[in-house]
Amino acid sequence: MINLDLTADVVVVGGGPAGTWAALTAAEAGADVLLLDKGYCGTSGPTASGGTGVWYVQPDPEEREKAMASREKLGGFLQDRRWMARVLDQTYENMNRLEAEARYPFPIVDGVPHKRGVQGPEYMRRMRSWIKRAGVRVLDHSPVTELLVDGTGTVAGVRGHRRQHGTGYRVRAGAVVLATGGCAFLSKALGCDVATGDGALFAAEAGAEMSGMEFSTAYAIAPAFTSVTKTAYYGFATFFRGDGTWLEGAGSQGGRSVIAKELLRTGTVLCQIDRATPEQQRQMRLGQPNFFLTFDRLGINPFTEKFPVTLLLEGTVRGTGGIRIIADDCATTVPGLYAAGDAATRELVCGAFTGGGSHNSAWAMSSGTFAGRGAAAFATALGATANRRRLTGVGEAGIQRPFDRTDALDVIRREVHPYDKNYLRTASRLEPALAHLDAVWDGRRGGAVATGGDLPGVRQAAAMVAHARWMYTSALARTESRGMARREEFPRLDPNQYHRLTVGGLDRLWTRPETVTGRELAVAS
Amino acid sequence: MIEVVSTERCVSCDVCIAVCPTNVFEAGPGGIPVIARQSDCQTCFMCEAHCPADALFVAPHTHPVPADSPLRDEEHLAGTGLLGSYRRELGWGRGRKPGARLAVGPELRPAAT
Ligand SMILES: Cc1cc2nc3c(=O)[nH]c(=O)nc-3n(C[C@H](O)[C@H](O)[C@H](O)COP(=O)(O)OP(=O)(O)OC[C@H]3O[C@@H](n4cnc5c(N)ncnc54)[C@H](O)[C@@H]3O)c2cc1C
Ligand code: SF4
Ligand code: SF4
């Protein structure tokens, strides 16, 4: 049942950093913009609750060169130098605008605003008011459930559900930007339960492809049984076995797999942030107050006491895989459809390495800007014909055919969360896991076609299963270890696999190697 | 997870119902929101940050705490200063200086995430 029928030049799906920058840019280009969020634009997504370091680098050629070179090796040299340069330019501009136009209160260090990070709640509440000032209409608690296409397969709108009103809605649009975030598989990592890979599923149903899905093994440290996966300060920590003896090789960077192995073996790893000076401890409290929420409320002093930790799956949130982008305006392979932020692949700036720490946030605001501009231009070019098109929904699992949500959530818990399957990857464990995921996807075993208020949950479950299948299919296709895509049985980098991997399909999946672009500007090292 | 809605402090502004990303709250009797779907709570502390009356408390656990836990005891939370503490650190609320102004952490080691 359609209870609400709307039109817009540009629809932005998702109101995190990528979505809000896309909406702002499209509105400034003159488009009538509607932003739809599953949660609430301003609090939803990991940036809002977590906050982020930002890849903000002065436009000084030497500094920029250093910034681009710094993670290239970690990223298996899959980054695109031209894209890195444009993201650095755009991020620099956006962060300056955030101060000048949204009056973000940056700290002043040595007389100049310090723009290498933002506090999430402050950043995102300002983005919300800024886009509203720019004329963007915002619908919260309105998960999109599928894309609509016209007779030629061009994306021409969305359908969704208003969960606080119990009604459906449909939007006709000139162009759609997917900024739905990555997929963290409902692991309860900080702010991530809204990030269930919905956009990737919608895109694939319209015919789009994914890229870099093997770079999806992000697991983040949190105190056991809690949610705050802020990991920067664990660089100052030492890790111990349950009996208090030193856990050799364990670390936040480079030693997380040691933590995973010990957790698998004994279930307990202890941690103490014992390598920070009193001055650094003081700075940490100011830098990331949310890091201390857990400790203060549990009555733990993390600098002097050992506390148990766990690893929570962050999948493609702090991984890098996502919807494949084929042009500078973040266009996908489907006309009328654009992707930004974690919903899109971040290989162009991160390569095979995590985008956490600074690159993801820079990518989110820059790709959002590119996509917003691209979508507005696409909608303008369509003109009045945009609203005369006949629309068809392309959503499959849970809409055109039954899908079992309970089975899906169960298979995600059993085959995707566990460290021995998704983190310490090997074919002997990936293959059976993928077979289980395929069986649930296949859906012949049961489930139902969902309607009304049940639909978003079912689609979310389908999106996670689709995501995991692309992840494991790509992981199996890359028989080497590059960046975060490690294979236990192929521990080394293989020069013959120097390519990006595109993956696609819904029922039958396929992969295709892709030549690495944008290396001509790289300085030989 | 969200554990406490203080009936005494709540000013019935419905902000928590609007801002919770996972739609945990529902309007309740007498204008006091109820925790309708606690299992959907993602422990993100956003409702607490946005509540103008320091009426909400989110325990750090990703599962409900026992009924007799001090983290469900409003008096204890108010006495220890935990109630409203996140808002204080963010510098949100009238007359406070935004915490963002002070947010300079220590220099990190390279490639931290
Ligand atoms: C704890 C933590 C710390 C991090 N720290 C850093 C850091 O220091 N530096 C860094 O660069 N990166 C960091 N990251 C990564 C960074 O947070 C993300 O890259 C960033 O949030 C991506 O922004 P986004 O706008 O693409 O997606 P999100 O912020 O995930 O926003 C997605 C939005 O889409 C909405 N949505 C989802 N599905 C639908 C749907 N079906 N319909 C409508 N709306 C939908 C969601 O509600 C949400 O509002 C961190 C991540 C975590 C988890
Ligand atoms: S935000 Fe606070 S004051 Fe407002 S309704 Fe919720 S609990 Fe009450
Ligand atoms: S902690 Fe987050 S998810 Fe839980 S009730 Fe508050 S806003 Fe909602």
Domains of chain A: 4-215+319-393 (3.50.50.60), 218-315 (3.90.700.10), 405-491 (1.20.58.100)
**Complex ipTM, two decimals?**
0.96
Average pLDDT of the residues of chain B = 95
For A139, phi then psi, to 5°, come to -115, 115
The C-alpha of A34 sits at a distance from chain B's nearest C-alpha, in angstroms, of: 18
Q: Is the dihedral of CA B85, B91, B96, B102 positive or negative?
A: positive
Average pLDDT of the residues of chain A = 96
CB burial of A157-186 (b: ≥16 within 10 Å; e: otherwise) equals bbbbbbbeeeebbbbbbbbbbbbbbbbbbb
* Residue keyed to tokens 């089975």: A407
For A39, phi then psi, to 5°, come to -105, -115
Local confidence band at B113 (pLDDT 50, 70, 90 cut-offs)? very low
Residues of chain A in contact with residue B78, where contact means CB-CB under 8 angstroms, are none
Ligand 2 pocket residue status of B53, Cβ below 6 Å: yes
Decide if A145 contacts A273 (C-beta within 8 A): no
How many A from CA of B9 to the centre of ligand 2?
Answer: 8
Residues of chain B in contact with residue A276, where contact means CB-CB under 8 angstroms, are 106
How many A from CA of B22 to the centre of ligand 3?
Answer: 7
pLDDT tens per residue across all 525 residues of chain A: 558 999 999 999 999 999 999 999 999 999 999 999 999 999 999 999 999 999 999 999 999 999 999 989 999 999 999 999 999 999 999 999 999 999 999 999 999 999 999 999 999 999 999 999 999 999 999 999 999 999 999 999 999 999 999 999 999 999 999 999 999 999 999 999 999 999 999 999 999 999 999 999 999 999 999 999 999 999 999 999 999 999 999 999 889 999 999 999 999 999 999 999 999 999 999 999 999 999 999 999 999 999 999 999 999 999 999 999 999 999 999 999 999 999 999 999 999 999 888 999 999 999 999 999 999 999 999 988 898 999 999 999 999 999 999 999 999 999 999 999 999 999 999 999 999 999 999 977 678 899 899 999 999 999 999 999 999 999 999 999 999 999 999 999 999 999 999 999 999 999 999 999 888 766 544
**Looking at the complex, does the CB of residue B61 fall below 8 Å from at least one CB of chain A?**
yes
Nearest atom in ligand 3 to B23's CA: 8
d(CA A236, CA A65): 28
**Looking at the complex, does the CB of residue B104 fall below 8 Å from at least one CB of chain A?**
yes
Q: Which residues contact B110 (CB under 8 A, 6 or more apart)?
A: A70
Fold of B2-95: Alpha-Beta Plaits (3.30.70)
- The residue of chain A nearest to residue B101, with distances taken between CA atoms, is A107
**Looking at the complex, does the CB of residue B110 fall below 8 Å from at least one CB of chain A?**
yes
Burial class (CB in 10 A: 0-12, 13-18, 19+), A277: exposed
Q: What is the DSSP letter of B107?
A: P
All structural domains of chain B with their residue ranges: 2-95
Decide if A70 contacts A171 (C-beta within 8 A): no
d(CA B21, CA B33): 15
Q: Tell me which of B20, B24, B44, B47 to substitute to probe the interface with A (most A C-beta atoms closer than 10 Å).
A: B44
Query: How far from A24 is each of A20, A320, A521, CA to CA, in Å?
Result: 6, 24, 31
DSSP-derived 3-state class of residue A351? coil
d(CA A291, CA A284): 8
Give the predicted TM-score (pTM) of the model. 0.97
